[in-house]
Chain A
Amino acid sequence: MIIAAALLGVIAVLLAWPVPLALARADWPARSPGVALVLWQAIALSGGLSMIGSLLLYGLVPFGSALGESVVALGGDVQAGSLPAGTSVAHVLALGAAILLGTHLLLNLLATFVRAERQRRHHHSLIALLSDPLHGRPGMRVIDHPAPVAYCLPGAGHSATVLSKGLLRLLDADQVRAVIAHEQAHLVQQHHLVLLAFKSWHSALPWFPIANRAENAVALLVEMLADDHARRVVDDYTLARAIALVGFALAGFAAPTNSEADATARAAASASFLEQGLAAAPEHPAHQVMPRVARLVNPAVPLGHAATVGALTVAAVLLTGPALILFAA
């Protein structure tokens, strides 16, 4: 059991630092954001389980040689008020840490979801009072405000996509279709659940820099997934312009001039731009504009079949491996 504890500890350290760092720095996620998103979730779940499992197994060593047996023994000893010979302070601390960490992560997750649900309900009731339905489109609302915003408000059975009048004035019909398709993808693919889970992870471990990176990386991947959905409705250039126009306007910039920009200047700019975009990647969620536009302007080929299968296999191993080690111990 001590070997299993050590093994889980190594996995936990790898998944806490070098592995997520490598994934955050890789440039292939922009090509296949869905695959990368699965990997991020596998890393987070597996990392958490490995860390808790490692502490738990180490703490249970004096109580028995298998997980089930030692938990039963621990229960009996606690009731009897005695600890077996060979129980050190380190074992007790490890047990305590495992229980605290597990409880902390779960309670934080619960609190994050409850708080978000309450805020969403309040936001929904405001939207119901302040916005108007978009002619004939169920679930679409228009709010009378000059700032060009579009967002979706998820909620069981009553999700809404909200557009502002400022946005409808700023964008042409095709660009609006792109925005709507983007937001619908968020709702259909339930992106808010992933975002909330990673937000909870980050807020539970605020001193852990990887959690912040992971939250930002996931936020960007989710936007890219929604962009990919919008690309089925409009062409890449229309979507890129919609993103840029809204980004400008929200930054205090005013509306566009001509769409007949010089094509060669555009091509020349795009190479250096792509580098910038990818380099500027997911440090700040507010700076998601560049990487998103970069992959629309210079579309990259998605990961090949073999690489996709490989990455998903890694995710499956990450999810099952630590659990097997834990329960086989």
Chain B
Amino acid sequence: MVCMANLGVLERLMMDVLWDSPAPLTANELKDLLVSPDVSASRAKPLATTTILTVLSRLEAKGFVTRDRDVRPHAYTAVMSRAAHTAGLMHEVLGQVPDRQATLVRFIGGVTPQEADTLRQLLGVAPADNE
């Protein structure tokens, strides 16, 4: 039985492998890629295929992974690329998704040009032209 914290680490490792993989992977292919030293140098023994499948179904339930059920064994793909996930996340953080601001508490939003003027005088913080 793998504990929750370990599952989180595994989800991360497996998503990294799936994101880097050009083609869908089966659980066994994933397992081989995970035990290769460059992916998980800290992991002493190979994972059981059942563990891999458990983590995969968790990732599927969370909507990060999709499974091709037409092939045997099932092949898994990342639903979105890492970059697309990050972009979506930042979209939400920057307040561009309506009704999502209540989820998190942000340090500060952007300033208007007038505010920028006053701030520059006040604090010596100058918006430089960085075209």
A183:B121 contact, CB within 8 angstroms: no
**In the assembled complex, A258 has its CB within 8 A of some CB on chain B:** yes
- Stretch from A4-12, A76-84, A97-105, A117-125 at the B interface: A117-125
Q: A186 CA to B107 CA in the complex, in Å? A: 10
Question: What residues of chain A lie closer than 8 Å to B129, measured between beta carbons?
Answer: 254
Total A-B Cβ pairs within 8 A: 173
Q: A245 CA to B82 CA in the complex, in Å? A: 28
Residue of A183, A256, A258, A260 ringed by the most chain B CB atoms within 10 A: A256
B123:A241 contact, CB within 8 angstroms: yes
**In the assembled complex, A173 has its CB within 8 A of some CB on chain B:** no
**In the assembled complex, A213 has its CB within 8 A of some CB on chain B:** no
**In the assembled complex, B37 has its CB within 8 A of some CB on chain A:** no
Q: Mark A278-312, 1 if CB is under 8 A from B, else 0.
A: 00000001111110110001000000000000000
Q: A262 CA to B123 CA in the complex, in Å? A: 9
Q: A144 CA to B110 CA in the complex, in Å? A: 20
| Residues of B92-131 contacting chain A, CB below 8 A | 92-95, 100-113, 115-116, 118-119, 121-130
Choose among B11, B110, B130 the residue that contacts A250 (Cβ–Cβ < 8 A). B110
B105:A147 contact, CB within 8 angstroms: no
- Where the two chains meet, the residues of A that have a C-beta atom closer than 8 Å to any C-beta of B are 112, 116, 119-120, 122-123, 125-130, 143-145, 147, 149-154, 162, 164, 179, 182-183, 186, 191-192, 195-196, 199, 222-223, 237, 240-241, 243-248, 250-262, 265-266, 269-270, 273, 276, 285-290, 292-293, 297
